[in-house]
Chain A
Amino acid sequence: MAQKKPDLSIEFCGKKYINPFLLSSSPVSNSAEMVERAFDAGWGGVVFKTLGSDRLRIDHPSPRMNSMTVGTRKMSTVQNVEQITDRPLKDNLMELLYLKKHYPDRRIIHSIMGFADKEWEYLAKMSEDHGADTLELNFSCPNMTIEGSGDQAGKSFYDIEHYTSIVKRAVSIPVMAKMTPNITDMTETAMAAKNGGADAISAINTVSGITGINLDTLVPQPEVFGRGASSGTSGPGVKPIGLRFISDMAKDANLNLPLSGMGGIETWIDALEYLLVGASTLQVTTGIMHYGYIIVQDMIEGLTDYMASKGIMKLDNLIGSTLPKLGKTDLFDLDRQGVVEYDLDKCVGCGQCLNVCTDAGGQALKWDDVTRRPELNEDKCLSCMLCSFVCPVSGLIKYKAMPEGWKRNETAIRDPSLEKELKYEPYVHDGDDGCLV
């Protein structure tokens, strides 16, 4: 008999979302016609392409993007040089009215970017007057050609707090600040937004980077008529950075704001990981640029099946579940050690394990030339796990925890006779030498 299905709906900044999956503010949320198709595919909401006031003309560089292929994986990282919308505000507001009217169960978030105090205030009011459920303040576009905007503002505690407070004073709808990852500690920039009154934080915007250089013209890609720039990179390659910043903010008790996570979300597994480190809504662009709006169906289905298999019926019960297990490396129990374990019945004899262990691991493998199979010397295994990463057969090489107290051999010395030439003396310190521990 049909069981009750897990519920993917969630409350974020006091608004109800039918599911946590939102289009992020980007080329995928550029028009009502596009967003409409996305909603029909199942997306729970949109952060519309960042609105501007029309005061300064926006021209996008051409071409706008470059893709980094790793092996057969196309678009493993994508680099873009897009700016905020190039459409007139009037047109955009009509588009947003349309969406509001026809999709009352979807949340419409307006992303805005001003270039002056009054302009932030103006855009915030315009948005509120045209039905925005929430505002997202774009402090994070790394591609703006207009001085002092985008992630230039997002790297300044003053600007973040200042513009946030202007917007907060102007409107009564919730305000979310979107953060740039091109900084060292996001809890600080996020705290500036909170001090300005922000109700939520979204992160990460794209990471400044260079995905490739044209080896004939020597111009970085995308090559805009002879010039290139470090610019916004996104896609599966940036997920570790996004997860890191979201978890940092989620763990910060002082910050304590709802988080909208993004950066490399493509599958339900990526989405779940963001939820587990504390995001409660999720935004996607590059996954859509690669596969289209339809991927939301796989995210919904995959996440629902996962929750059903774990008996978790509400999304809330997942959010932040990883955080208690996530800490600094100095909390690791270094007394416990382990090695790898090989199930050689599954081995196909490629020997990639041997290469990586010999040149980057513990030299713990030998190769049997006759059987063409590796032989492991556990005593030398560093448990770096490199061999398991290159092994073509899943589950052949696994981690094995060793009994408490087990220690591996130290790396052998190439030529012990050199001891007589040593000028070595052990480091001694008397009293306090300023050591941190």
Chain B
Amino acid sequence: MGISDVKDRFKQMPPGMNMDQAIVEAERCLLCHDAPCSKACPAGTEPGEFIRKLRLRNITGAIRTIKSNNILGGACGVLCPTAELCERECSAMMASDENPGGSDKAIRIGDIQRFLVEHSREIDFQPVEVEESGVSGKIAVVGSGPAGLSCAAEVSKLGYKATIFEALAEPGGVLRYGVVPFRCDTDFVEKEIADVTALGVEIKCNSPIEGKAAAEDLLKQGYDAVFMAPGLWGAYALQDDSANIDGCYSSVDFLASIRNENFDNIISDFKGKTVAVIGGGSVAMDCVEAAARLDTTDVNLIYRRSYTQMPAEEIERIEALQHGINFYILHQPTEFLKDGNKLTGLKLVRTKLGEPDESGRRRPLLIEGTEWDMPADIVIEAIGNKAVDDSSDWYPNVKVDGKKLIVAESETGATSVPGIFAGGDIVRGPALVVEAVQDGKVAAKAIHEYLSDKE
């Protein structure tokens, strides 16, 4: 397989629904009067409303509902773990006291949502407009991930001028440099971002706000408020120097490489190799799925707890199994095996489950005498993202917690510094796109109130 064939496997996500399928699905909706799906959406995307609109052939209205509530409604339709969110509450599953498990599937809300957003592009319908409110003011947004994009779009709708500062070469945050393109492709992400810039948002790429008090200084440079949404781009590692081992990657670096100039190197480095991925969350699943597409020989997933304890969605786990990923559950890696600085494998110890820990999950306990060596050419550590080490220097007066997450009020996104708001992963820790969108919305409203009060 040539490099271009491998690249093709990464280019596109599978096609979504078409109009016929979306209508059939909407016909199945029970149009619950108190729409539990809508209540379960973290960003208030109102699935109950947009499905009713589709049902009544008010298709432009359905698109408007999605996009005016959630400017990244397309990306959320693709990426939301819907089985845990809106679809989990769906009455069409026909669950009742008599039949608690239900006898049918939930309405495919995420798929309908994606379809409607894709349809808006097909019919060239731009649903979101800037209100003529007469407000003025400049808002600086740090980071062009979902939280930053959402906040910038919302303040622009209110009439403010929003400028996003983005450290990387292209906007999108995790949507572009994290999520693998065969789950949410670049073309799709760019169209979502275009819906944001169409509102007048300016995105300045290659413009990191870093160094001493750089974020706080934005307030002195003429910005009336600042929204911090730099996400989590540091990576937890088994040992401090793992990044220096030849053959060891962090999930952050590995996934970002798929969308940048390193991709060719990754393709040749991975070909024919045995890869071990450490972790059991969604990011680990993205890593194994990506590694499996790189003509590797074996992809082993190593997780220290049980299968059901994996944080990854069930569907992701099943797909990974079906794609031939070898699951090594109840295994704890304890050491990198090396030949010089070249990685040769992992030392693993079997674990068993003990008493519940503070997360409520049963704690993995090492089983003595069960060490063994797993040969591997490449290891990807997907055990969690964290704030980059010096991030708190950019905003020295903003209160942060022990993990360097910004402390912000959940109803407003306000930080300890007046005029500085924050949201997304930098506040919540690793979370969801749809939650980042919500944080952006909440902060935009609070920024508007803050500036209105100031006048």
Contact = CB atoms under 8 A, between A and B. Distances in A.
A1 B58 contact: no
A417 to B, nearest CB: 47
A261 to B, nearest CB: 18
Nearest to B56: A298
Interface stretch (B129-137, B273-281, B309-317, B390-398): B129-137
A301 B60 contact: yes
A256 to B, nearest CB: 32
Given A1-B129, A1-B130, A2-B130, A301 B58 contact: yes
A61 B198 CA distance: 59
Interface string A286-330: 000001101101110110010001000000000000000000000
B57 A394 contact: no
Interface residues of B, number: 21
B39 to A, nearest CB: 17
Interface string B112-133: 0000000000000100011110
A3 B64 CA distance: 15
A350 interface: no
B20 interface: yes
B67 interface: no
B60 A302 contact: yes
Interface stretch (A109-117, A179-187, A193-201, A262-270): A262-270
A393 B56 CA distance: 20
A268 B132 contact: no
A268 B20 contact: no
B431 interface: no
B388 interface: no
A302 B64 contact: no
B413 to A, nearest CB: 27
Which has the most chain B C-beta neighbours within 10 Å: A267, A291, A302? Answer: A302
Contacts of A292: 33
A72 interface: yes
A266 B20 contact: no
A297 B50 CA distance: 12
Nearest to A393: B20
A72 B52 CA distance: 16
A252 B52 CA distance: 38
Interface string A170-185: 0000000000000000
Contacts of A269: 57
Contacts of B132: 1-2
A393 B21 CA distance: 9
Contacts of A72: 27-28
B365 interface: no
A399 B15 CA distance: 27
Given A301-B64, A302-B61, A394-B20, A295 B27 contact: no
Contacts of A1: 129-130, 132
B52 A298 contact: yes
Nearest to B124: A309
A291 B20 contact: no
B129 A2 contact: yes
A261 B149 CA distance: 46
B343 interface: no
A301 B129 contact: no
A72 B92 CA distance: 14
A294 B132 CA distance: 27
Contacts of B52: 291, 294, 298
B7 interface: no
Interface in B36-62: 52-53, 56-61
A309 B63 CA distance: 15
Contact of B20 (A73, A267, A305, A392): A392
Contact of A394 (B19, B33, B61, B125): B19
A297 to B, nearest CB: 8
Given A291-B31, A393-B20, A394-B20, A298 B130 contact: no
A302 B58 contact: yes
A206 B183 CA distance: 52
A291 B56 contact: yes
B120 to A, nearest CB: 11
Contacts of B19: 394
A257 to B, nearest CB: 30
Contacts of B59: 302
A1 B156 CA distance: 11
Given A291-B31, A298-B52, A394-B20, A267 B129 contact: no
B56 A305 contact: no
B57 A302 contact: yes
B20 to A, nearest CB: 5
Contacts of B131: 2
Contacts of B64: 301
B56 A266 contact: yes
Contact of B58 (A3, A298, A392, A394): A298
B27 A305 contact: no
B20 A298 contact: no
B297 to A, nearest CB: 37
Contacts of B58: 267-268, 298-299, 301-302, 305
B57 A268 contact: yes
A91 to B, nearest CB: 28
A27 B301 CA distance: 63
Contact of B61 (A3, A266, A298, A309): A298
B61 A301 contact: yes
Interface string B329-347: 0000000000000000000
Contacts of B27: 72-73
Contacts of B60: 301-302, 305, 309
A292 B32 CA distance: 12
Nearest to B57: A267
Interface string A223-238: 0000000000000000
Contacts of B61: 297-298, 301-302, 305
A394 B28 CA distance: 19
A43 to B, nearest CB: 15
Contacts of A267: 56-58
A305 B123 CA distance: 12
A188 B451 CA distance: 67
A116 B340 CA distance: 109
A37 to B, nearest CB: 13
A267 B60 CA distance: 13
Contacts of A301: 53, 58, 60-61, 64
A2 B131 CA distance: 7
Nearest to B33: A292
A297 B33 CA distance: 15
B3 to A, nearest CB: 30
Contacts of A297: 61
Which has the most chain A C-beta neighbours within 10 Å: B28, B52, B56, B64? Answer: B56
A72 B28 CA distance: 9
Nearest to B61: A301
A236 to B, nearest CB: 12
B158 to A, nearest CB: 13
A295 B57 CA distance: 11
B21 to A, nearest CB: 10
Interface of B: 18-20, 27-28, 31, 33, 52-53, 56-61, 64, 125, 129-132
9 contacts: A72-B27, A291-B56, A298-B52, A299-B56, A299-B58, A305-B125, A392-B20, A393-B20, A394-B18
Given A298-B57, A301-B58, A302-B58, 20 more contacts: A1-B129, A1-B130, A266-B56, A267-B56, A268-B58, A291-B56, A292-B33, A294-B52, A297-B61, A298-B56, A298-B61, A299-B56, A301-B64, A302-B59, A302-B60, A305-B58, A305-B60, A305-B125, A392-B20, A394-B20
User: Closest 7 A-B residue pairs measured CB to CB?
Assistant: A298-B58, A301-B61, A305-B60, A302-B58, A298-B56, A267-B57, A2-B129
